[in-house]
Amino acid sequence: MINYISDADFIKKGEIQNILPVYNEFDVDTPLTTLTSFPQKTRNFYTLKPTQGKGRGTPFISAIELRLLENDMYKEIDSGSLNLFVRVNFRSPFSTVRSTNFTFLDSQLRYNSDKYDRIWDPIIWPNSTILNTFDKVYSGIFTTIDPPSEVMSDAISPKNPKESLTINWNNINDRFFMYMHFAKIEILKRNQKREFNIYLNDRHLYRPFSPLNHTTVTIYNIEPETATPPYMLEINRTKNSTLPPIINAFELYTLKQIPQRQTDDRVAAAIWGIKSTYRITRHWQGDPCAPQEFVWDGIGCSYNGTDYLTIVLLNLSMSGLNGVIDPGIANLTMMHTLDLSNNNLTGVVPNFLSELNFLKVLPRLIVPFLRIPISFPNTIEGSDEREKVVVKDEKCYGEDERRRERMREEK
Least confident of 15-24, 193-202, 279-288, 374-383: 374-383
Same domain, 286 and 321: yes
Of 37-41, 157-161, 166-170, 254-258, which has the strongest mean pLDDT? 157-161
What's the CA gap between 129 and 161, in Å, rounded? 9
* CB-count burial class (<10 Å; 0-12, 13-18, 19+) for 7: middle
Same domain, 336 and 250: no
Position 328, amino acid = G
- Give me the residues paired with residue 180 across strands: 219, 250
pLDDT band at 402 (very low <50, low <70, confident <90, very high): very low
What's the CA gap between 310 and 275, in Å, rounded? 16
- Domain end among 257, 280, 315: 257
- pLDDT greater than 50 at residue 52: no
What's the CA gap between 59 and 45, in Å, rounded? 11
Of 3-17, 20-34, 343-357, 366-380, which has the strongest mean pLDDT? 343-357
What's the CA gap between 390 and 384, in Å, rounded? 18
Same domain, 93 and 203: yes
User: Number of structural domains, the chain?
Assistant: 3
Tell me the C-alpha to C-alpha distance, in Å, between residue 47 and each of 178, 181, 287: 30, 34, 8
Higher pLDDT, 313 or 294: 313
Q: Is 200 a domain residue?
A: yes
302: domain CATH number is 3.80.10.10
Same domain, 112 and 220: yes
Same domain, 180 and 115: yes
The distance from CA 7 to its chain's CA centroid, rounded to whole angstroms, is 19
Higher pLDDT, 112 or 45: 112
Same domain, 289 and 326: yes
Nearest 10 degrees: Cα torsion 253, 36, 297, 49: -10
Q: Is 6 a domain residue?
A: no
- pLDDT greater than 60 at residue 390: no
- Give me the residues paired with residue 388 across strands: 375
What's the CA gap between 65 and 228, in Å, rounded? 34
What's the CA gap between 381 and 361, in Å, rounded? 6
pLDDT band at 96 (very low <50, low <70, confident <90, very high): very low
Contact 337, 314 (CB under 8 A): yes
Of 10-19, 51-60, 119-128, 184-193, which has the strongest mean pLDDT? 184-193
pLDDT band at 306 (very low <50, low <70, confident <90, very high): low
Q: Could you write out the DSSP letters of every residue in 158-205?
A: ESSTTSPEEEEE----S-EEEEEEE-B-SPPPTT----EEEEETTEEE
Tell me the C-alpha to C-alpha distance, in Å, between residue 385 and each of 21, 135, 400: 71, 76, 12
Can you give the pLDDT at residue 148?
95
Which structural domain, as residue segments, surrounds residue 48?
Answer: 15-61
What's the CA gap between 325 and 353, in Å, rounded? 10
Same domain, 206 and 230: yes
Least confident of 75-79, 135-139, 179-183, 352-356: 75-79
H-helix or E-strand containing 400?
helix 399-410
Same domain, 232 and 283: no
H-helix or E-strand containing 23?
helix 21-24
Q: Which segments within 66-175 are labelled E, that is strand?
A: 80-92, 121-124, 128-132, 154-158, 165-169
Spatial CB neighbours of 26, under 8 Å, sequence gap ≥ 6? none
Same domain, 41 and 91: no
Identify the CA nearest to 337 among candidates 273, 271, 381, 274: 381
Q: Is 75 a domain residue?
A: no
The pLDDT > 90 percentage for the chain reads 43
pLDDT band at 396 (very low <50, low <70, confident <90, very high): very low
What's the CA gap between 262 and 307, in Å, rounded? 8
- Domain end among 257, 289, 324: 257
171: domain CATH number is 2.60.120
Q: Is 10 a domain residue?
A: no
Instruction: Decide the pairing of beta strands 395-397 and 337-339.
Output: unpaired
- pLDDT greater than 50 at residue 99: no
The distance from CA 245 to its chain's CA centroid, rounded to whole angstroms, is 35
Same domain, 248 and 163: yes
Same domain, 92 and 231: yes
User: What letters, b where the CB count within 10 A reaches 16 and e where it falls short, cover 108-127?
Assistant: ebeeeebeeebebbbbbbee
Same domain, 57 and 96: no
pLDDT digits (tens, 9 = 90+) for 307-364: 789 999 999 999 999 999 999 999 999 999 999 888 888 888 888 888 899 988 665 5
Q: Is 71 a domain residue?
A: no
Identify the CA nearest to 376 among candidates 353, 410, 393: 353
What's the CA gap between 276 and 315, in Å, rounded? 16
